[in-house]
C-alpha cells in the first residue's frame, strides 16, 4: 500500500471550489495507492470535458485527446502494454454521447480497462446543455421547452452485454467509491463505474437533494444474476442507487489468446522479427495481391 500523495502534482485545479469532482479525484488516488501502484504503473486516458481534466491532476502517465475518443486510445495502450493500469476518466456526454459507439464495441471486445464516468446529467463544460442522461422534460440551455429525448441507461446496456463489472458510486462518498474502483481495477476485463456527480454551478438541485436520494444496492442482490441487475437498473426510482450491480467472470479479455502465446510483456520489449524477415513477409504479401 502506498500513500495517495505519491500521485499529487503541482498543476492548478480548474474545477469550481467545492466541486464533487474533487471527491472522485480523491477516490481514484486512494484506489491506486491502496493497490500499491506507483505513478509509472498507471495511464489515465481522457477526451474533452470537466471529467477529462482529471488526468491533469495526477502524477502518472496520461493521454488527453479528442472528444469521445478516449476508449480506442485506451484499448491501444492496454494492448501495447498490459502491465499498465489503464483507466479512462470521462463524462457521460463524452462517453455516452460522442464516444457512445466506442463504448458499445468495448462491451463486445472486453479490453482490460476501467472506465470511470462522471455523470452530472448535462454538458457542464459548455454551460449545461442536455446530455444523453438528462431527464426528459428538463429545461436546459439549448432546450428551453425541455429535453424531448429519453435518457440513456448505459449501465443497463452494459449489463445486457455482460460487461464484466458494472457499478455506480457517489462523488461525495469517496470511501465507498474507492472500494468500487478498487474492485474494478482488480478484475480482468472491462469495468464500467458510473459516478453520480452533482454540479454545483449548473445543476438544478443542491447537493443535499442528491444525498437524500442516493441509496445502496440491496444487500440481498446477487451481482452474478444478470436479470436481477437489469431489473434494478430499469426502475427509474433506482436512478441514484449505488454499488455493484453486475459481475461476470466468464468472458475472455481482449487479446488474451495473443498474450497466451507471447506473454504479458510490453510489445516494445517483446522483440520484433528482424527487419529482413518483415520485408520478406511484406514482399510476399504484395506479390500475392499483385501490388
Taking only the tens place, the pLDDT of each residue in 184-218 is 999 999 999 999 999 999 999 999 999 999 999 99
Low-confidence ranges of the chain (pLDDT < 70): 270-274, 277, 281, 288-291
Give residue 289's pLDDT.
63
Instruction: Give the separation between CA 207 and CA 156, rounded to whole angstroms.
Output: 25
Residue 267 falls inside a structural domain: no
Residue 104 falls inside a structural domain: yes
Residue 210 falls inside a structural domain: yes
- Name the H helices within 51-140: 70-80, 92, 100-109
Give residue 259's pLDDT.
87
Residue 38 falls inside a structural domain: yes
Residue 216 falls inside a structural domain: yes
- Residue corresponding to grid cell 444474476: 225
Instruction: Give the separation between CA 30 and CA 24, rounded to whole angstroms.
Output: 10
- Name the H helices within 116-225: 154-160, 174-186, 207-213
Looking at the 3D structure of the chain, how many domains does it have?
Answer: 1
Residue 273 falls inside a structural domain: no
Residue 235 falls inside a structural domain: yes
- Name the H helices within the chain: 21-34, 70-80, 92, 100-109, 154-160, 174-186, 207-213, 226-233, 256-262, 275-288
Instruction: Give the separation between CA 272 and CA 142, rounded to whole angstroms.
Output: 53
The boundaries of the domain holding residue 111 are: 4-261
Neighbours of 228 (CB within 10 A): 17
Neighbours of 37 (CB within 10 A): 19
Which helix (H) or strand (E) segment is 62 a member of?
strand 61-64
Residue 287 falls inside a structural domain: no
Give residue 42's pLDDT.
98
- 3-class SS at 63? strand
pTM (predicted TM-score): 0.92
Give residue 291's pLDDT.
56
- Candidates 76, 6, 80; CA nearest to 45 is 76
CATH number, domain at 66?
3.40.50.970
Contact 117, 95 (CB under 8 A): yes
Sign (positive or negative) of CA dihedral 128, 129, 131, 136: positive
Give residue 280's pLDDT.
75
Amino acid at each position: 500500500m502506498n500513500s495517495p500523495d505519491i500521485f499529487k502534482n503541482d498543476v492548478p485545479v480548474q474545477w469550481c471550489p467545492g466541486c464533487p469532482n474533487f471527491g472522485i479525484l480523491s477516490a481514484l488516488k486512494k484506489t491506486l495507492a491502496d493497490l500499491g501502484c506507483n505513478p509509472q504503473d498507471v495511464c489515465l486516458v481522457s477526451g474533452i470535458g470537466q471529467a477529462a481534466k482529471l488526468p491533469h491532476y495526477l502524477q502518472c502517465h496520461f493521454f488527453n485527446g479528442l472528444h469521445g475518443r478516449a476508449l480506442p486510445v485506451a484499448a491501444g495502450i492496454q494492448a501495447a502494454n498490459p502491465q499498465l493500469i489503464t483507466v479512462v476518466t470521462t463524462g457521460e456526454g463524452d462517453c455516452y454521447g460522442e464516444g457512445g459507439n466506442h463504448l458499445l464495441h468495448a462491451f463486445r471486445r472486453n479490453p482490460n480497462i476501467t472506465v470511470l464516468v462522471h455523470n452530472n446529467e448535462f454538458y457542464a463544460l459548455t454551460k449545461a446543455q442536455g446530455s444523453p442522461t438528462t431527464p426528459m422534460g428538463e429545461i436546459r440551455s439549448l432546450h428551453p421547452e425541455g429535453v424531448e429525448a429519453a435518457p440513456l441507461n448505459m449501465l443497463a446496456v452494459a449489463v445486457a452485454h455482460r460487461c464484466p463489472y458494472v457499478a455506480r458510486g457517489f462523488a461525495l462518498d469517496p470511501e465507498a467509491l474507492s472500494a468500487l474502483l478498487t474492485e474494478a481495477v482488480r478484475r480482468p476485463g472491462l469495468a464500467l463505474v458510473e459516478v453520480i456527480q452533482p454540479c454545483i454551478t449548473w445543476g438544478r438541485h443542491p447537493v443535499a437533494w442528491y444525498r437524500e436520494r442516493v441509496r445502496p444496492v440491496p444487500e440481498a442482490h446477487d451481482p452474478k444474476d444478470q436479470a436481477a441487475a437489469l431489473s434494478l437498473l430499469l426502475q427509474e426510482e433506482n436512478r441514484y442507487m449505488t454499488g455493484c450491480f453486475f459481475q461476470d467472470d466468464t468472458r475472455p479479455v481482449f487479446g488474451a489468446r495473443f498474450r497466451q502465446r507471447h506473454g504479458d510483456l510490453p510489445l516494445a520489449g517483446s522483440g520484433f522479427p528482424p527487419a529482413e524477415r518483415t520485408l520478406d513477409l511484406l514482399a510476399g504479401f504484395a506479390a500475392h495481391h499483385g501490388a
